[in-house]
Structures are given as structure tokens and as C-alpha cells.
Amino acid sequence: MKTIEALRLSMAMRWCCFICCDPKETFPTLRGPAVLVDLETDQRLEVIPDYVKHQYRAKMTGHLAEMREKTQRGGWGISC
């Protein structure tokens, strides 16, 4: 984000950040154990419904809030 911020300042442009997440990816519901796969890195994470319902949702909510805060602090628009 520091590199993009420097570019934004040097070009005197307004930047907008788009975070595209499928609702099933952001807040999935599981009926049993599953494997989540990051399509960009092929990293795999085995999860159980209890983890998804509590820890994963808390992490995703925190991540989106952090992105929103950082982009707004930098003067960017954001859409989640």
C-alpha cells in the first residue's frame, strides 16, 4: 500500500480500491468439514463449521474493516 500511496500522491489523482468477494467466500456456511482453496496461490486450509462460524468470520470482518480504514485514511474511496 505504501507504493500505491506514493504513486497516488505523485500523480495527484483520486484512487479507488475495489475488494471483490463472493458472499459465500466472505461468510461461508458449512454443513461439515471442508477444504478452502485460495485460487491465486493454491494454498489450502482445512476447516470445520465451528471454525468458519466463529474464527474465520471474525478474521474476515477484521480484514475488511482494516482495509476500509487504511484506504479511507489514505484518501481513497473504497467499495467492499
The number of domains in the chain is 1
Give the pLDDT of residue 15.
66
Instruction: Give pTM, 2 decimals.
Output: 0.61
Domain range enclosing 9:
2-79
Q: pLDDT tens digits, residue range 16-48? A: 677 788 888 788 888 899 998 888 899 998 989
Answer for the pair 63, 70: CB distance below 8 angstroms, yes or no.
Answer: no
Q: What is the largest CA-CA distance in the chain?
A: 50
* 74 or 57, higher pLDDT: 57
Q: Is the pLDDT of residue 59 over 70?
A: yes
**38 phi, psi to nearest 5 deg:** -80, 115
Give the pLDDT of residue 25.
79
Q: pLDDT tens digits, residue range 62-78? A: 988 888 888 777 777 66
